[in-house]
Amino acid sequence: MNQDWYVAEAGQGFPLVLLHGLGASSFSWRENLGPLSRRYRVLAPDLPGHGRTSAAAVPDFRLETLSVEIVRLLNRRGVDRAALAGNSLGGGLALLLARHQPERFPALVLLAPAVCLRRPPTLFYPLRLPLLGLLAAALLGPWIVPLALRQAYHRSELITPEVVAGYALTFRSLANRLAIRRLVGQIEAWPPARVENLVRQITQPLCLIWGKEDRILPLDQAEWLRKRLPQAEVHLLPEVGHAPQEEDPALVNEIAVAFLEKTLRNQLP
């Protein structure tokens, strides 16, 4: 197994790990890495099969396996404790990590976390099909990036050639496309009782950020989480879709820093 992960890293101080969503990469944190690194040691990995990290970096793509491998990555980087920020799939991974090792991950910033997801986004759903899934993976390519961004973003003017090119890397190689197929195929729709049990085990301070125009994970899911996470600080952002850190990065950075400074006051250098 290839243990090499690509990690965009900057800054010093208490570690903050940024976890991206399905089909994305550390590129989705491009407007956050610099500002957040003025106060924290920020690490934004490409998950296996995404961006610059090989699909061979993990034995399988179950969420539990990915969370274990993230811990191993942090061990190799000498990160004993860290705050977690995650968008969509990355938010779901952050919750799994926080449940398994609450003392290691003392604070969470979740941006539209995929916790109550019943099925993968429509564009990726054909990858789950037994035979057609292989054909879909073979046909998948950078051409899908603008379509995916139109679903994720509320503001279509943000879909520039530079942004499309930044995300295209994930879909260029067949190995990555097959990895995304495996990931989509291994995403299980947890029964509501299991999801609720997971959420109720989270005791850490938590900041929940959600775009009011999210078409992938609608706002009612934010309300569901709010009721089950009484400690959560909730921010609902107008004119924002499924990627708040990209559509309103300045506000997201401001919210995250204020929350983390307050939460980690006794742990920062």
More confident residue, 121 or 184: 184
Segment 240-262 shows an average pLDDT of: 97
- Identify the band that residue 172 occupies on the pLDDT scale cut at 50, 70 and 90: confident
pLDDT at 252 over 60: yes
31-55 residue pLDDT tens: 999 999 999 999 999 999 999 999 9
Find the length of the chain: 269
Per the CB < 8 A criterion, the answer to whether 35 and 253 are in contact is yes
- Identify the band that residue 2 occupies on the pLDDT scale cut at 50, 70 and 90: low
- Identify the band that residue 61 occupies on the pLDDT scale cut at 50, 70 and 90: confident
- Identify the band that residue 131 occupies on the pLDDT scale cut at 50, 70 and 90: low
Give the whole-number percent of the chain exceeding pLDDT 70.
86
- Contact partners, residue 166, CB within 8 Å, separation at least 6: 25, 27, 30
**Average pLDDT along the chain:** 88
Q: What is the pLDDT of residue 200?
A: 86
DSSP 109-155: EEES--SS-SS--GGGGGGGSTTHHHHHHHH--TTHHHHHHHHH-S-
Domains in the chain: ranges and CATH: 7-122+188-263 (3.40.50.1820)
Q: What is the pLDDT of residue 168?
A: 92
pLDDT at 136 over 70: no
Per the CB < 8 A criterion, the answer to whether 56 and 1 are in contact is yes
More confident residue, 179 or 38: 38
Ranking 42-51, 171-180, 238-247 by mean pLDDT, the lowest is: 171-180
Q: What is the pLDDT of residue 125?
A: 61
**Lateral strand order in the sheet of 232-237:** 7-10, 41-45, 15-19, 83-87, 108-111, 206-211, 232-237
Segment 12-20 shows an average pLDDT of: 97
Closest of 102, 108, 73 to residue 87, by C-alpha: 108
Q: How far apart are CA 92 and CA 112, in angstroms?
A: 9
84-109 residue pLDDT tens: 999 999 999 999 999 999 999 999 99
Q: What is the pLDDT of residue 141?
A: 73
Q: Which of 122-126, 210-214, 219-223 has the highest mean pLDDT?
A: 210-214
Q: What is the pLDDT of residue 179?
A: 82
